[in-house]
Amino acid sequence: MSNQESKSNDNINAKDFIIGSLIGSIVGASVALLFAPKSGKELRQDINKGAHDLKDKAEEWKEVASEKTSELKDLAIEQKAHIQERFAEKSQELQDKFTETKKSLQDKINHAYDEFEDKKETAINKAEDLKETAKDKVAVASDAAENVKSTVKKAAKDVKETEKEAAEDVAEAVKDAAEDVKEK
């Protein structure tokens, strides 16, 4: 049991005690007056005295109740201040935790974004490199095709010339053979 609960129980017990004592005093005084064998004048004086005593006791109990009320009020104010302080502390802790978590998430998002940008740039660079390599290969293939074309044209020209020369040689050989046949 905490100190605060103990004070609260003490205040409740004191309040119950005060109320019980006040009621007991009233009942006791009333019973004593009614059962006492006295004359009317004495009875009135006793009732008047009992009323004054009761009034004095009521004043005492009123002061005690006022003190207890003041104590309870002070305790309530103290508890309110304590609760407000704890609420402010917890609110600050939650705010700090929220800010920390938000910053951590933002850092992770920024890191992921930076990684994505790096990978994107790397992919673009690789694509550019592949494009340049393909252009180079196309240029080499085009040059090779031109070389083959040139070589084929030259070979065709050489074949035509060789064919022409061979045809001329054959024609001359046929002519020489025809002349030899005529001479013989």
Q: What is the pLDDT of residues 89-136, one digit of tens each?
A: 999 999 999 999 999 999 999 999 999 999 999 999 999 999 999 999
Any idea of the CA torsion for 170, 173, 175, 181, to the nearest 10 degrees? Answer: -130
Nearest to 7 by CA among 66, 65, 74, 61: 74
In which residue are the tokens 């905490």 written?
A: 2
Listed in sequence order, the residues at least 6 apart from 43 whose beta carbon sits closer than 8 Å to its beta carbon are 33, 36
Mean pLDDT value across residues 32-55? 73
pLDDT > 90: percent of the chain: 35
Residue 44 to residue 126: CA distance in whole angstroms? 118
Confidence of residue 160 (pLDDT cuts 50, 70, 90): confident
For tokens 């006022």, name the residue: 66
| Mean pLDDT within 62-88 | 89
Residue 26, judged by CB atoms within 10 A of its CB (0-12, 13-18, 19+), counts as middle
Are 91 and 23 spatial neighbours (Cβ–Cβ below 8 Å)?
no
Mean of all residue pLDDT scores within the chain: 84
pTM for the structure as a whole: 0.40
Instruction: Round to whole Å and give the CA distance between 71 and 22.
Output: 20
Q: What is the pLDDT of residue 34?
A: 67
Contacts of 46 (CB under 8 A, 6+ apart): 33, 36, 38
Given a cut of 80, whether residue 14 has pLDDT beyond it is no
Among 4-13, 72-81, 142-151, 168-177, the range scoring the smallest mean pLDDT is: 4-13
How long, in residues, is the chain?
A: 184
